[in-house]
Amino acid sequence: MVCIRGVATSVPFNWTLFHPLRPRRSRSGCPFCTLLSVWQIDFMMSDVLCIGATGMLAGCVRALIARGDRIDCIARTLVGLEELKQTISTSDRTRLCTHSCDYRDLEKFEETLSSLSFQPSAAICWVHSPAEQVLDRIRHRFPDIDLLQVVGSSARLVGVCSTPANRIVRLGYGLAGDQSRWLTHDEISRGVYDAFVSGDMFSQVGTIKTL
Ligand SMILES: NC(=O)c1ccc[n+]([C@@H]2O[C@H](COP(=O)([O-])OP(=O)(O)OC[C@H]3O[C@@H](n4cnc5c(N)ncnc54)[C@H](OP(=O)(O)O)[C@@H]3O)[C@@H](O)[C@H]2O)c1
């Protein structure tokens, strides 16, 4: 009964369930709970290409790795990529492959896409505007990819991307009393993770309306 409830309550995604700090084994010690959560993790596992994810989206990368995904991460600076690696446990680190590349250099970007450690089934892309050329290259190389584009609150959603099949998660603001504030990196990472696993075509993190 406990096991069945465990599955039922976990299917709508619960961030804390896959938080990198959460112990992997069932707290109750029930072997079936442990087996079921492994089954759930396998079911949800993906090979994910993450672009621009060494900053505010680093927590999102950690959460994906914690649930068993393999990640290819692209950013420019080796230091940033290395710092992200260091935040991941040694045993999980083999599932993170990093690539130093400026996505504005489209030729180098193409080369990097062809050198990924796996064929990604999904992508999370935080690409500063204009993003179309970068996203089009990804879509062209991996036509069936589940591509989630992260956009800022000021992005115009009409024509935000030339490929309508892409999913969008829009960053908004947090609210502190009657004031708006920037979202924290943790809020952004959680929101983008939730958007990714939800499968929704459009998601929003925080509120868009400014006060
Ligand atoms: N509410 C909103 O609308 C909104 C939207 C955006 C940001 N923000 C706020 O602004 C803050 C910082 O934003 P940020 O854009 O600096 O995000 P960030 O996630 O902290 O950094 C940008 C990411 O993109 C990579 N990157 C940038 N240019 C690149 C290029 N040409 N080629 C490859 N990778 C590239 C960076 O790595 P490298 O530098 O190593 O390349 C890094 O991984 C956030 O803390 C957030 O709170 C708010």
Average pLDDT over residues 22-40: 42
For 133-165, write each residue's pLDDT tens digit. 999 999 999 999 999 999 998 876 655 555 557
Q: Which domains does the chain have, with CATH numbers?
A: 1-44 (no CATH), 46-205 (3.40.50.720)
Are 30 and 55 in contact by the 8 Å Cβ rule? The answer is no
Closest ligand 1 atom to residue 182 Cα is 47
9 lines ligand 1 (CB under 6 A): no
Distance CA 116, CA 94 (A): 14
For 68-104, write each residue's pLDDT tens digit. 999 999 999 999 999 999 999 999 999 999 999 999 9
Average pLDDT over residues 122-137: 96
Average pLDDT over residues 50-68: 97
Q: Give me the pLDDT at residue 106, please.
A: 98
Residue 186 is classified by DSSP as H
- pLDDT exceeding 70 applies to what percent of the chain? 74
Q: Give me the pLDDT at residue 177, please.
A: 85
Nearest C-alpha to atom 24 of ligand 1 is from which residue? 52
Q: How confident is the model at residue 210 (pLDDT cuts 50, 70, 90)?
A: low
Closest ligand 1 atom to residue 76 Cα is 41
What separation in Å is there between the alpha carbon of 141 and the centre of ligand 1?
Answer: 24
* Res. 43: pLDDT tops 70: no
Average pLDDT over residues 188-210: 93
If we measure between CA atoms, which residue out of 33, 15, 27 comes closest to residue 192? 15
171 lines ligand 1 (CB under 6 A): yes
Q: Give me the pLDDT at residue 163, please.
A: 52
Residue 184 is classified by DSSP as P
What is the value of pTM for the model shown?
0.81
Distance CA 64, CA 194 (A): 11
